[in-house]
């Protein structure tokens, strides 16, 4: 590991000033991903600015009925919060589906959004990787890619974003707030992650040196009937091979409103807008759900070893929306 | 461009109620500081990647993996290791339960298992749901600490000997004792050879359901 300086930020303006003056510095939250990547030599910061003790650890109800979630709220506190569990149950479920109890106690909301892919070529510094070393190539396309992207990938990178939390946030139209040395800003989650294209090393639209300060969840009555379902290769403590966050409002057998986002299928949490469009006003039955999934998955470009994800996501859409329809009828 | 920063600090760690002042290279993890600098070798290094749980300690009362925690960033926090769990010679009920029920074989993962179990019991008492909780809404109440809940909540602690069946029983017994606020931990009766259930049948049940 490269040697590094360490400073503990006491306020947001001090934190962003420190990063503004040192392009080799990184913010340290819970460290569950960054420290691991530093050990592997993937991340080599010259300085860490510890932001864990910044006063950004609150979850508050917004006047309009939404929620404001501070960037240093831990995954554990997010998933345990009564208003998260009541108003956005799929978000609590998504967070609980990720990592282990120990890691959820350490990891922060801001860090969760910025965690890096677990593609084995990205984390292996002896391998080429366009995300880690631009222009060096992508061995996954011809190699090990059974858990890589089927949507929105490019010939330069097929890695997936590993977050469960971000999938639920995408479904609920979250907005990311940040601060820089030159002022604050906001990014809807839909615009937060950049398209892969030929620049897979550029992952987010955050300005250089920006510190995520919080997430705003707009009010979403539809989210009270929501669910996160994660499929993985063992029962617990593993990254998804496919996941879904879904919310449904059904009246008289007709879909009034629906939210759908998929995880482990793209470089970003994948908001399924085509499926949502197909479903609004449609009968709430398995046939409609399958047709909506097919509408979204028409854009899928599976590789030789990850075509199963198309079937998996389709089945998840049908299964979870069917369950939510039954729950709505109770 | 900022001047090159200092790469070490003199820090004070609060471990098991004792204060230790030590110089650390910033690269030092809390696990290495405990084991190599403070000679507290109860916390074990398994994977050193946050994946096995053998290094689990409590930070401000919450379980955490000390291999991904930088020592310098742990300054100011209350650190509890396995060495600080017992009350003198009197074992903590969680330790006693692991002994009574053979919640280990080789013992290497045990300090991490016990520290993690302490966290599980507190988290459950605080009403936290888990990934296997059917209804996470607060109105649904806290689920009982069933074997399924314990397996999920303890899934960050691997046991290469495969002592999971006994570990689940030990955590269940300790949790019951905690709930009953038992003041007589020495009356625990060893329960050996209780029914063993397979651990594989629920594995990838989700996957089967979704890909069927």
Residues B103 and B166 in one domain: yes
Q: Residue A276: is its pLDDT beyond 60?
A: yes
Check whether residue B187 and residue B168 sit in a common domain.
yes
Long-range CB contacts for residues A79-84, cutoff 8 Å, separation at least 24: A79/A104, A79/B128, A79/B129, A79/B136, A80/B123, A80/B126, A80/B127, A80/B128, A80/B129, A82/B138, A83/A59, A84/A59
Contact B26 A6 (CB under 8 A): yes
| ipTM higher than the 0.95 cut | yes
Q: How far is CA A120 from the centre of its chain?
A: 19
Contacts of B204 in chain A (CB under 8 A): 232-235
Residue B123 and residue A76: Cβ atoms within 8 Å?
yes
The count of other CB atoms within 10 Å of the CB of residue B87 is 9
- Both B18 and B45 in one domain: the answer is yes
CB count in 10 Å sphere of residue A17: 16
Residues B141 and B158 in one domain: yes
Chain B environment of A47 (Cβ under 8 Å): 2, 5
Q: Do residues B98 and B133 both lie within one domain?
A: yes
Last residue of a domain, one of B84, B107, B139: B84
| Closest chain B residue to the Cα of A100, Cα to Cα | B156
Q: Report the side by side order of strands in the sheet with A211-217.
A: A59-61, A67-70, A211-217, A175-180, A183-188
Tell me whether residues A86 and B120 touch, CB distance under 8 A: no
Residues B65 and B118 in one domain: no
Q: Does residue B2 fall inside a structural domain?
A: no
From the candidate CATH numbers 3.90.850.10, 3.30.43.10, 3.30.365.10, 3.40.190.10, the one assigned to the domain spanning A5-50: 3.30.43.10
Chain B hits for A18, CB-CB cut-off 8 Å, are: 2
Rounded Cα distance, A174 and A172, in Å: 6
Which residues does chain B have within 8 Å of residue A31's beta carbon, measured at their own beta carbons? Answer: 68-70, 73
* A chain contacts of residue B126, beta-carbon cutoff 8 Å: 80
Judgement on whether residues B111 and B176 belong to the same structural domain of the protein: yes
- Strand pairing category for A183-188 and A211-217: unpaired
Those residues whose C-beta lies under 8 Å from the C-beta of residue A94, and which sit 6 or more positions away, are: A164, A165, A167, A168, A228, A230, A243, A245, A263
For chains A and B, CB pairs below 8 A equal 164
Report pLDDT for B208. 37
The vertex-B150 CA angle with A229 and A92, nearest 5°, equals 35
* Domain ranges for chain A: 5-50, 225-329
Give domain status of residue B134, yes or no: yes
B103 shares its domain with B181 = yes
Query: Alpha helices, DSSP H only, in A163-218?
Result: 165-171, 189-192
Q: Which of A296, A217, A294 is nearest to A261 (CA)?
A: A296
Question: Does a structural domain hold residue B208?
Answer: no
- Domain A225-329 CATH class label: alpha beta
The pLDDT value recorded for residue B1 is 53
Is A47 near chain B, with CB under 8 Å? yes
pTM of the model: 0.93
Last residue of a domain, one of B24, B54, B84: B84
Distance from CA of A281 to the nearest CA of B (A): 26
Per-residue pLDDT of chain B (212 residues; tens, 9 = 90+): 567 899 999 999 999 999 999 999 999 999 999 999 999 999 999 999 999 999 999 999 999 999 999 999 999 999 999 999 999 999 999 999 999 999 999 999 999 999 999 999 999 999 999 999 999 999 999 999 999 999 999 999 999 999 999 999 999 999 998 888 644 444 333 333 333 333 333 333 333 333 33
Distance CA A132, CA A134 (A): 6
Query: What pLDDT shows up at residue A220?
Result: 97
Overall size of chain B counted in residues:
212
Between CA A196 and CA A301 the distance in angstroms is 14
Helix H or strand E segment including B168: helix B164-180
| Number of domains chain B contains | 2
* Nearest chain A residue (CA) to B154: A101
**pLDDT at residue B178, as a whole number:** 86
Please state the φ and ψ torsions of residue A218, each to the nearest 5 degrees: -70, 160
Instruction: Please indicate, yes or no, whether residues B104 and B67 belong to a single structural domain of this protein.
Output: no
CB contact under 8 A, B153 and A86: no
pLDDT (0 to 100) of residue A153 = 98
Look at chain A and count its residues. Answer: 330
**H/E segment holding residue A85:** helix A82-87
Q: How far apart are CA A229 and CA A90, in angstroms?
A: 9
User: Is the minimum CB–CB distance between A28 and chain B shorter than 8 Å?
Assistant: yes
**Nearest Cα residue to A286 out of A310, A305, A244, A314:** A314
Supply the pLDDT for residue B2: 62
Q: Parallel, antiparallel, or unpaired for β B56-59 and B62-65?
A: antiparallel
* pLDDT on residue B3: 74
The share of chain A scoring above pLDDT 90, in percent, equals 99
CB of A318 within 8 Å of a chain B CB? The answer is: no
- Give the per-residue pLDDT at B192: 34
Buried-state track A47-76, b at ≥16 Cβ within 10 A, e below 16: bbbbbbebebbebeeeeeebbebbbbbbbb
Q: Does A80 sit within 8 Å of B211, measured CB to CB?
A: no
Q: Is residue B210 part of a domain?
A: no
Question: Last residue of some domain: B84, B117, B148?
Answer: B84
Q: For A109-134, what is the mean pLDDT?
A: 98
Which domain, by its residues, includes B54? 8-84
Whole-number Å distance between alpha carbons of B100 and B103: 8
Question: What CATH number did the domain enclosing B121 receive?
Answer: 1.10.150.120
Are residues A106 and B156, on separate chains, in Cβ contact within 8 Å?
Answer: no
Region A63-90 average pLDDT: 97
Contacts for A254-257 with beta carbons within 8 Å, 24 or more apart? A254/A281, A254/A282, A254/A283, A254/A284, A255/A279, A255/A280, A255/A281, A255/A282, A255/A283, A255/A284, A255/A288, A256/A280, A257/A222
Average per-residue pLDDT for chain A: 97
Examine residue B1 and state whether it is found in any structural domain, yes or no: no
Q: Is the dihedral of CA B45, B50, B52, B53 positive or negative?
A: positive
pLDDT at position A281 over 80: yes
**Which of B124, B136, B137, B140 is the best mutation test for A, with the most CBs of A within 10 A?**
B136
Query: What residue has token string 């397979």?
Result: B198
Q: Is the Cβ pair A105, B29 closer than 8 Å? A: no
B116, B184: one domain: yes
Domain co-membership, B80 together with B97: no
Enumerate residues 55 to 84 of chain A having a beta carbon within 8 A of any beta carbon in chain B. 76, 79-80, 82
Mean pLDDT of A165-187: 98
Contact (Cβ atoms closer than 8 angstroms) between residue A105 and residue A69:
no
Give A69 to chain B, closest Cα distance, Å.
Answer: 18
pLDDT value for B202: 38
User: In the sheet that A47-50 helps form, which strands lie side by side, from edge to edge?
Assistant: A5-8, A47-50, A25-28
| Test mutation, B27, B51, B66, B68, chain A, max A CBs within 10 A | B68
Per-residue model confidence as pLDDT tens digits over A1-55: 999 999 999 999 999 999 999 999 999 999 999 999 999 999 999 999 999 999 9
Cβ of A105 under 8 Å from any chain B Cβ?
yes
């Amino acid at each position: 590991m490269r040697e590094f300086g360490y400073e503990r930020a006491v306020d947001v303006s001090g934190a962003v000033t420190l990063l503004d003056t040192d392009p080799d510095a990184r913010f340290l939250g819970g460290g569950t991903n960054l420290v691991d990547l530093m050990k592997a030599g993937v991340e080599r910061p010259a300085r860490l600015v510890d932001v864990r003790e910044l006063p950004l650890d609150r979850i508050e109800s917004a006047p309009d009925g939404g929620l404001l979630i501070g960037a240093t709220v831990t995954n554990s506190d997010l998933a345990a919060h009564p208003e998260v569990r009541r108003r956005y149950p799929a978000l609590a479920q998504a967070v609980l589906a990720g990592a282990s109890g120990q890691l959820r106690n350490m990891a922060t909301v801001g860090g969760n959004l910025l965690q890096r892919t677990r593609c084995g070529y990205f984390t292996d510094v002896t391998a080429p990787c366009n995300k880690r070393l631009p222009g060096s190539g992508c061995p996954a396309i011809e190699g090990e890619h059974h858990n890589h992207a089927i949507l929105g990938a490019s010939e330069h990178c097929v890695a997936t974003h590993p977050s469960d939390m971000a999938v639920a946030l995408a479904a609920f139209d979250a907005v990311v707030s940040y601060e820089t040395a030159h002022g604050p800003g906001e990014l809807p989650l839909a615009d937060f992650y950049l398209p892969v294209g030929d620049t897979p090393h550029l992952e987010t639209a955050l300005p250089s040196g920006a510190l995520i300060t919080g997430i705003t969840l707009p009010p979403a009555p539809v989210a009270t009937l929501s669910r996160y379902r994660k499929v993985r290769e063992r029962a617990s403590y593993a990254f998804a091979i496919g996941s879904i966050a879904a919310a449904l409002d059904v009246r008289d057998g007709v879909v009034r409103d629906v939210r759908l986002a998929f995880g482990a299928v793209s470089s970003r949490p994948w908001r399924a807008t085509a499926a949502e469009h197909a479903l609004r006003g449609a009968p709430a039955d398995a046939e409609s759900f399958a047709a909506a999934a097919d509408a979204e998955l028409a854009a899928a470009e599976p590789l030789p070893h990850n075509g199963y994800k198309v079937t998996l996501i389709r089945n998840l859409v049908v299964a979870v929306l069917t369950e939510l329809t039954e729950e709505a009828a109770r | 461009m900022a001047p090159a920063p200092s790469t070490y600090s003199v820090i004070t760690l609060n471990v098991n109620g004792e204060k230790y002042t030590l110089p650390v290279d910033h690269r030092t993890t809390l696990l290495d500081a405990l084991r190599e600098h403070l000679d507290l070798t109860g916390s074990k290094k398994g994977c050193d990647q946050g994946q096995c749980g053998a290094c689990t300690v409590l930070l401000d009362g919450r379980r955490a993996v000390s291999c991904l925690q930088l020592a310098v960033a742990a300054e100011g926090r209350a650190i509890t290791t396995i060495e600080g769990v017992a009350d003198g010679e009197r074992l903590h009920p969680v330790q006693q339960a692991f002994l009574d029920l053979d919640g280990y074989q080789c013992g290497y993962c045990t300090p991490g298992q016990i520290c993690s179990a302490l966290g599980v019991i507190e988290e459950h008492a605080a009403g936290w749901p888990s990934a296997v909780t059917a209804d996470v809404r607060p109105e649904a109440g806290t689920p009982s600490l069933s074997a399924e809940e314990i397996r999920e909540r303890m899934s960050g602690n691997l046991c290469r000997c495969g002592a999971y069946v006994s570990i689940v029983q030990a955590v269940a017994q300790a949790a019951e004792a905690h709930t009953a606020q038992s003041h007589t931990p020495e009356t625990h009766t060893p329960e050996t050879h209780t029914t063993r259930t397979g651990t594989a049948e629920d594995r990838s049940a989700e996957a089967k359901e979704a890909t069927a």
